[in-house]
Amino acid sequence: MRERRLPVFGALAAGVAALVSFATALPVGAATVVATQHSCTATALGQSQTTTQNDNVDVTAPSSATSGSQFQVVLAPEAQTAPSMAGNFTIVSIRNATLRITVGNASVVGTPTLSGGSGSIGTTGVSVSGNVISITASGPIPGGSTFTLPTLTANLSAGTAGTPATTSLSGTDLTFTTVVRVGVFQINAPTNCTPVPNPTGLSSTSVS
* Structural domains of the chain in order of their starting residue, each with its CATH number: 10-194 (2.60.40.2270)
Cα–Cα distance between 60 and 29 in angstroms, integer? 7
- pLDDT for residue 27: 37
Mode of pairing for the β-strands spanning 151-158 and 106-115: antiparallel
Quick one: pLDDT band at residue 149, thresholds 50, 70, 90?
Answer: confident
Task: In whole angstroms, give the CA distance from residue 205 to residue 57.
Answer: 17
- Read off the pLDDT of residues 159-196 as tens digits, 9 standing for 90 and up: 999 999 988 889 999 899 989 888 889 999 898 999 99
Mean pLDDT within 38-63: 78
Q: What is the pTM of this model?
A: 0.81
pLDDT of 150 higher than 70: yes
Residue 5 pLDDT greater than 50, yes or no:
no
| Confidence band, pLDDT 50/70/90 cuts, at residue 9 | very low
CB atoms within 10 A of CB 18: 24
pLDDT tens track for 66-112: 999 998 877 777 777 777 776 667 889 999 999 898 999 999 989 98
In angstroms, the CA 138 to CA 151 distance is 16
Look at residue 22 in the predicted model and tell me its pLDDT: 33
In this prediction, residue 142 has a pLDDT band, given cuts at 50, 70 and 90, of very high
